[in-house]
Structure 1
């Protein structure tokens, strides 16, 4: 393959390069992903998404998610909304409800008549061994020692791991200082997304997320879900919450433990393009 066709998509400013590999397989190395994601020398994005044929009979499609640093991760909340919009608008998927296979499960996505996209993210994973997170037993909150200071976090997975820290004001939260340290904390063997949650009222929260492998982004769908779950577990939030991220708002619904989290928000097409296939092993300049 000499050239690579793609669509640039975004959800609340969290931006993606989406590649259709439903007819012809596309395999990318970490160097190729980094080249595509490079914001000066490539297309520029937070994540690269690849749409593929499913490997399970109950799914319509499968998708793979690569962070800007070239690492492959399990899931992306804003990304799966954009992927569903991409598949539907390209005529690859006719129904308004899609069942999309992720690295560790199945997500049901509904394209609504008002243009928004709702995703059944499944029930949040709270057991430490499944997140994964090193803890002796499941608890609402856990102590996490970071640079000599003990922080109180929630540990939640929505198909990918999140550590959520409650703060008074996300604008003043030390996201750039604490985010990288929490991301690579040894208690999270697969690394972790670091979320910073401000509770405004019982139905309104503000969130910033330092994403694993991408740094702070304008929005993180799974991060918004994890933060809402954390707030509910702490008794601070109701079952229907508007979550404001730096790129805009998501609506998150969660009835409680064992029930699915429903995330609703926008997914928009930006432009289409074609680029030469980057070298498989050569990294571009930073």
Structure 2
């Protein structure tokens, strides 16, 4: 007997996107109508590699509530099911998809837990620019004891917390080990922190490797981490206001840091779309 995809009941449409190697599953929640209480469990199952779609995070796009200043809102969850206030690469992917599916115009505002994010989608390309929230809590010249050594670091919140460690070379660095040790250190309790390791190549270029909280691993890129790295390097006089940040995946993010909120620009690629069967991952809509 033949097998027809039309015979599968209760599937949910989804989109798979990536921004500089940071990959996400996105769901139009105007269609899925999933309650917020179920979203964390969905993130853990859907983002699980081999057994789910596989991704660094799950994004639900939804109508903005009455009276909101945003064109639409998102519910953003890391792969471990934790809800995140902000994600720079995720925001660029969300903005491009919102434009492609007619949820928002090319220039619009995305509502996040960290506040409203202005976005501009460059039609006919995969490029998206977002204006992040103002950095806060900048601390320079800090130290932390981890893994039997003293690690100098700097700190700033660019929507989510980021520690920034400046090194001469990143090639042989144990990002997973050192990043995990710092991420869970009591210095950053209770929320923990993302950890960025950077090399400043010149006044306009940084190389970056990031251990991401919530993903609990090194990722190919981190948008808020790229901005945090540029903010810290700028505060130390190592770079100017326009910075190219080269990620682990080899992609380049453009960061503009001036008097106001920083801007992040880069590609947001729509890789594929389809229908998932929640029941096959043990999920329900309750």
TM normalised by structure 2 equals: 0.88
Report matched runs for 1:219-234 at 5 Å.
219-234=221-236
Q: Hey, what's the Cα distance between the residues in 2 that align with 1:57 and 1:71?
A: 24
Structure with more helix by fraction: 2
What are the superposed Cα offsets for residues 11-41 of structure 1, whole Å, 9 maximum, x if unpaired?
1111100011135532335443222111111
- Rate the CA distance shift 1:114–1:253 in 2: closer, same or farther, 3 A: farther
Does the alignment pair 1:51 with 2:53?
A: no
Flag structure 1 segments of 5+ consecutive residues without an equivalent. 128-138, 282-286
> How far does residue 174 in structure 1 lie from its aligned partner after superposition?
2.2
> How far does residue 126 in structure 1 lie from its aligned partner after superposition?
2.0
Counterpart in 1 of 2:4?
none
Flag structure 2 segments of 5+ consecutive residues without an equivalent. 1-8
The correspondence for 2:83, drawn from 47, 68, 72, is 72
CA contact (8 A) 1:31 1:279 kept: no
> How far does residue 76 in structure 1 lie from its aligned partner after superposition?
0.7
The correspondence for 1:12, drawn from 17, 20, 41, is 20
When structure 1 is superposed on structure 2, of 46-55 and 196-205 the one drifting more is 46-55
Q: Hey, what's the Cα distance between the residues in 1 that align with 2:158 and 2:218?
A: 18
SS at match of 1:230: helix
Does the alignment pair 1:124 with 2:125?
A: no
SS at match of 1:91: coil
Q: Hey, what's the Cα distance between the residues in 2 that align with 1:268 and 1:26?
A: 25
Counterpart in 2 of 1:131?
none
When structure 1 is superposed on structure 2, of 30-39 and 212-221 the one drifting more is 30-39
CA contact (8 A) 2:141 2:154 kept: yes
The correspondence for 2:256, drawn from 238, 253, 256, is 253
Q: Hey, what's the Cα distance between the residues in 1 that align with 2:85 and 2:52?
A: 24
Q: Hey, what's the Cα distance between the residues in 2 that align with 1:120 and 1:29?
A: 26
Counterpart in 1 of 2:99?
88
SS at match of 2:168: coil
SS at match of 2:93: helix
4+ residue runs of structure 1 moved beyond 6 angstroms?
none
Counterpart in 1 of 2:120?
110
- Rate the CA distance shift 1:225–1:265 in 2: closer, same or farther, 3 A: same
- Rate the CA distance shift 1:49–1:29 in 2: closer, same or farther, 3 A: closer
Kindly report the root-mean-square deviation, in angstroms, between the aligned alpha carbons of the 2 structures.
1.7
Q: Hey, what's the Cα distance between the residues in 2 that align with 1:191 and 1:10?
A: 25
Counterpart in 2 of 1:151?
151
Q: Hey, what's the Cα distance between the residues in 2 that align with 1:271 and 1:75?
A: 24
CA contact (8 A) 2:199 2:208 kept: yes
Q: Hey, what's the Cα distance between the residues in 2 that align with 1:166 and 1:103?
A: 29
Alignment: residue pair count:
267
- Rate the CA distance shift 1:152–1:114 in 2: closer, same or farther, 3 A: farther
> How far does residue 114 in structure 1 lie from its aligned partner after superposition?
6.2
| Structure index of larger Rg | 2
